[in-house]
Amino acid sequence: MKQYIVKRLLWTIPILIGISFFAFILINLSPSDPAEVAIRVNEITPTAENVAQMREQLGLDDPFMTRYLSWLGNALQGDFGNSYVNNKPVAEEIAKALPPTLYLSLVSLLIIVVVSVAVGVLCAVKEDSFTDQIMRGIVFVGTAIPGFWAGILLMWLFAVKLKWLPTSGMMTPAAVILPAVTLALGYISTYVRLIRNNMIQNKRENYVLYGRVRGLSEKTITRHIFKNSLQTSLTALGMSIPKLIAGTVVIENIFAWPGIGRLCVTAIFNRDFPMIQAYVLIMAVLFVFCNLFVDLGSVWIDPRRREA
Amino acid sequence: MKFKKGLTVVMTAILCAGILAGCSGASANTDVSTKEALNYACTKDIRDINPHLYSGEMSAQNMVFEGLTKNEGGEVKPALAESWDISADGLEYTFHLRKGVTFTDGAAFDAAAVKLNMDVIVANKERHSWLDMVNEIKENVVVDEHTFKLVLNHPYYPTLVELGLTRPFRFISPNCFVNGTTKDGVSGYIGTGPWILSEHVDNQYATFTQNENYWGDKTKIKTINWKVMPDPQTILLAMQNGEVDLLFGADGDQVDLDSYKKLEAEGAYQTFMSEPVASRAILINSKSPITKDIKVREAIEYAVNKENIIQGILNGSEDQADTLLSKDVPYCDIDLKTIAYNQEKAKQLLEAAGWKLGADSIREKDGQKCEITLSYNAKNAQEGTIATSIQADLAAVGIKMNILGEEKQAFLDRQKTGDFDLQYSLSWGKPYDPQSYVSSWRIPAHGDYQAQAGLEKKQWLDETITKIMIEADDSKRAEMYQEVLTYVNDQYVYLPISYSKTKAVGITGLNGVSFNDSQYEIPFEKMYFSN
A99 confidence band (pLDDT: 50, 70, 90): very high
Structure confidence at residue A91 (pLDDT): 95
A105-109, A243-247, B29-33: segment of lowest average pLDDT: B29-33
Q: How much is the average pLDDT of B311-328?
A: 91
Which of A:50-69 have CB within 8 Å of B?
Answer: 50
**Residue A43 scores a pLDDT above 80:** no
Among B6, B204, B407, the residue with its CB nearest the CB of A170 is B204
Structure confidence at residue B24 (pLDDT): 43
**Residue B27 scores a pLDDT above 50:** no
Q: How much is the average pLDDT of B160-186?
A: 96
Q: Is A168 close to B229, i.e. CB distance below 8 A? A: yes
Report which residue type is found at A284: A
Q: How much is the average pLDDT of B49-55?
A: 92
- Distance from the A166 Cα atom to the nearest Cα atom in chain B, whole angstroms: 8
Average pLDDT, chain B: 91
Q: Is A256 close to B408, i.e. CB distance below 8 A? A: no
Residue, of B351 and A59, whose pLDDT is higher: B351
**B142-156 confidence digits (pLDDT tens):** 999 999 999 999 999
DSSP state letter for B186: -
DSSP notation for A157-193: IIIIIS--S-SSSSSSGGGGHHHHHHHHHHHHHHHHH
Q: How much is the average pLDDT of B82-95?
A: 97
Q: Is the peptide bond before B434 cis (omega within 30 degrees of 0)?
A: yes
Closest residue in B to A253 (Cα) is B230
Q: Indicate the length of chain B as a whole number.
A: 531
Among A141, A161, A269, the residue with its CB nearest the CB of B24 is A161
Q: Can you tell me the distance from the alpha carbon of B210 to that of B197, in angstroms, rounded to the nearest whole number?
A: 9
DSSP notation for A49-102: HHHHHHHHHHTTTS-HHHHHHHHHHHHHTT---B-TTT--BHHHHHHHHHHHHH
Q: How much is the average pLDDT of A27-48?
A: 78
**Residue B7 scores a pLDDT above 60:** no
A247 confidence band (pLDDT: 50, 70, 90): confident
Q: How much is the average pLDDT of A89-100?
A: 94
B389-402 residues labelled b (16+ CB within 10 A) or e (exposed): bbbebbeebbbbbe
Residue, of A87 and B528, whose pLDDT is higher: B528
DSSP notation for B124-185: TGGGGTT-HHHHHEEEEEEEETTEEEEEESS--TTHHHHHTSSSSS----GGG-BTTBSTT-
Beta bridge partners of B424: B282
For residue A269, the chain B residues in CB contact (below 8 A) are 379, 407-408
A40–chain B Cβ distance below 8 A for any pair: yes
**Residue A233 scores a pLDDT above 90:** no
Structure confidence at residue A298 (pLDDT): 75
Structure confidence at residue B20 (pLDDT): 45
Structure confidence at residue B335 (pLDDT): 95
State whether residue A249 is helix, strand or coil.
Answer: helix
Among A47, A134, A269, the residue with its CB nearest the CB of B6 is A134
Which of A:195-224 have CB within 8 Å of B?
Answer: none
- φ/ψ of B75, rounded to 5, equals -125, 160
**Residue B23 scores a pLDDT above 60:** no
- Distance from the A80 Cα atom to the nearest Cα atom in chain B, whole angstroms: 20
Q: Can you tell me the distance from the alpha carbon of A157 to that of A182, in angstroms, rounded to the nearest whole number?
A: 13
Among B185, B230, B412, the residue with its CB nearest the CB of A256 is B230
**B353-379 confidence digits (pLDDT tens):** 999 999 999 999 999 999 999 999 887
- What percent of chain A has a predicted confidence (pLDDT) above 70? 97
DSSP state letter for B525: G
**Residue B88 scores a pLDDT above 60:** yes
Among B204, B240, B410, the residue with its CB nearest the CB of A32 is B410
Q: Is A169 close to B407, i.e. CB distance below 8 A? A: no
Average pLDDT, chain A: 88
For residue A167, the chain B residues in CB contact (below 8 A) are 234, 237-238, 241, 243
Q: Can you tell me the distance from the alpha carbon of A25 to that of B5, in angstroms, rounded to the nearest whole number?
A: 52
Specify whether the CB–CB gap between B518 and B498 falls below 8 A: no
A239-262 residues labelled b (16+ CB within 10 A) or e (exposed): ebbbbbbbbbbbbbbbbbbbbbbb
> Which ranges of B406-473 would DSSP assign to H, the alpha helix?
408-417, 435-439, 447-452, 458-469
**Residue B5 scores a pLDDT above 80:** no
- Distance from the A93 Cα atom to the nearest Cα atom in chain B, whole angstroms: 10
Q: Can you tell me the distance from the alpha carbon of B133 to that of B159, in angstroms, rounded to the nearest whole number?
A: 7
Specify whether the CB–CB gap between A141 and A213 falls below 8 A: no
**A252-264 confidence digits (pLDDT tens):** 999 999 999 999 9
- Distance from the B350 Cα atom to the nearest Cα atom in chain A, whole angstroms: 35
Task: Please list, in sequence order, all residues whose beta carbon lies within 8 angstroms of the beta carbon of residue A10, skipping any fewer than 6 positions away.
Answer: none
**Residue B101 scores a pLDDT above 80:** yes
Q: Can you tell me the distance from the alpha carbon of B305 to that of B486, in angstroms, rounded to the nearest whole number?
A: 22
Task: Please list, in sequence order, all residues whose beta carbon lies within 8 angstroms of the beta carbon of residue B140, skipping any fewer than 6 positions away.
Answer: B114, B115, B118, B119, B122, B148, B149, B150, B151
- Distance from the A308 Cα atom to the nearest Cα atom in chain B, whole angstroms: 39
Q: Is B237 close to A130, i.e. CB distance below 8 A? A: no
Q: Is B231 close to A42, i.e. CB distance below 8 A? A: no
Strand B371-377 to B422-426 pairing: parallel
**Residue A152 scores a pLDDT above 60:** yes
Does the CA dihedral B96-B100-B104-B108 come out positive or negative?
positive
Beta bridge partners of B95: B84, B148
Structure confidence at residue A236 (pLDDT): 84
Q: Calculate the CA B304 to chain-centre distance.
A: 24
A31–chain B Cβ distance below 8 A for any pair: yes
State whether residue B374 is helix, strand or coil.
Answer: strand
Report which residue type is found at A229: S
Q: Can you tell me the distance from the alpha carbon of B21 to that of B285, in angstroms, rounded to the nearest whole number?
A: 52
> What would the 3-class secondary structure string for A112-167 be?
HHHHHHHHHHHHHHCCCCHHHHHHHHHHHHHHHCCHHHHHHHHHHHHHHHCCCCCC
Q: How much is the average pLDDT of B283-304?
A: 97
Q: Find the Cα–Cα–Cα–Cα dihedral B424, B430, B436, B441, rounded to 10°.
A: 20
A85 confidence band (pLDDT: 50, 70, 90): confident
**Rounded to a whole number, what is the distance in angstroms from the first to the last CA of chain A?**
12
Residue, of B237 and A43, whose pLDDT is higher: B237
DSSP notation for B280-335: EEEEE-TTSTTTTSHHHHHHHHHH--HHHIIIIISTT-SEE-SSSS-TTSTT--S-
Helix (H) or strand (E) holding B212: none
B9 confidence band (pLDDT: 50, 70, 90): low
**B408-452 confidence digits (pLDDT tens):** 778 888 888 899 999 998 888 989 999 999 999 998 888 999 999
CA neighbor of B230 nearest in space, from A283, A44, A95, A151: A151
Does the CA dihedral B123-B126-B127-B128 come out positive or negative?
positive
- Distance from the B89 Cα atom to the nearest Cα atom in chain A, whole angstroms: 32
Q: Can you tell me the distance from the alpha carbon of B3 to that of B341, in angstroms, rounded to the nearest whole number?
A: 58
**A156-165 confidence digits (pLDDT tens):** 999 999 999 9
Q: Is B445 close to A157, i.e. CB distance below 8 A? A: no
Q: How much is the average pLDDT of B260-280?
A: 87
Report which residue type is found at A289: F
**B393-403 confidence digits (pLDDT tens):** 999 999 999 99
**Residue A48 scores a pLDDT above 90:** no
A36–chain B Cβ distance below 8 A for any pair: yes
Q: Can you tell me the distance from the alpha carbon of A2 to that of B33, in angstroms, rounded to the nearest whole number?
A: 71
Structure confidence at residue B8 (pLDDT): 54
Specify whether the CB–CB gap between B198 and B209 falls below 8 A: yes
**Residue B29 scores a pLDDT above 70:** no
Q: How much is the average pLDDT of A279-304?
A: 82
Q: Is B6 close to A130, i.e. CB distance below 8 A? A: yes
A67, B237, B395 from A63: Cα distances, Å: 6, 51, 48
Is ipTM over 0.95? no
Residue, of B78 and B17, whose pLDDT is higher: B78
DSSP3 helix / strand / coil % (chain B, rounded to 5): 35, 25, 45
Among B3, B238, B412, the residue with its CB nearest the CB of A133 is B3
Does the CA dihedral B122-B126-B128-B129 come out positive or negative?
positive
DSSP notation for B48-99: ---TTSSSS-HHHHHHH---SEEEETTEEEESSEEEEEE-TTS-EEEEEEPT
Interface test with A, best of B207, B228, B241 (most A CBs within 10 A): B241
Task: Please list, in sequence order, all residues whose beta carbon lies within 8 angstroms of the beta carbon of residue B258, skipping any fewer than 6 positions away.
Answer: none
Q: Can you tell me the distance from the alpha carbon of B372 to that of B358, in angstroms, rounded to the nearest whole number?
A: 16
Beta bridge partners of B368: B365
Q: Is A169 close to B409, i.e. CB distance below 8 A? A: no
pTM: 0.87
For residue B201, the chain A residues in CB contact (below 8 A) are 258
Specify whether the CB–CB gap between A72 and A285 falls below 8 A: no
Q: Is A152 close to B54, i.e. CB distance below 8 A? A: no
Q: How much is the average pLDDT of A220-233?
A: 86
B531 confidence band (pLDDT: 50, 70, 90): confident
Specify whether the CB–CB gap between B140 and B150 falls below 8 A: yes
